[in-house]
Amino acid sequence: MSPGFRADLFPPAITPPAKTTARGEPPMTVDEFCARYALSRSHYYDLKKRGLTPDELRVGRKALITAASARAWERRIAQEQKAARTRMNAQDE
C-alpha cells in the first residue's frame, strides 16, 4: 500500500444540496434574480422604491426571493403591460 492519499479513507467533500421550497426550487438572492431577469441592481432597487418588485423573505440581513414570488411578479407585470396596451389601443380609436 502506498503512503499517498487514500480515497477510501478520505472521500471527497460533497457540497450539500441547496435548501429548496416545496416545489423543489431554491430561493434566489437579489443578485440571482437580477441576473435571471436581466435587471441591474440599481434598477431593481428603483423598482423596489416604487413597490414593483417581488415579495422578499428576509433571513438576517439577506433578502431572498422565492420562485413562487418571482412567478407572481411575472404575472403581475404581464397583466399591467396588457392593461397598458389596452388603454393605449382605446385611446387610438
d(CA 7, CA 58): 40
Question: pLDDT confidence of 82, banded at 50, 70, 90?
Answer: very high
| Domain boundaries defined on the chain | 28-92
User: Is this structure's pTM higher than 0.75?
Assistant: no
d(CA 40, CA 72): 20
Per-residue pLDDT, 22:
58
pLDDT, tens digit (0-9, with 9 covering 90-100), for 47-73:
999 999 999 999 889 999 999 999 999
β-strands 62-65, 57-59 pairing: antiparallel
- Under DSSP, the state recorded for 4 is S
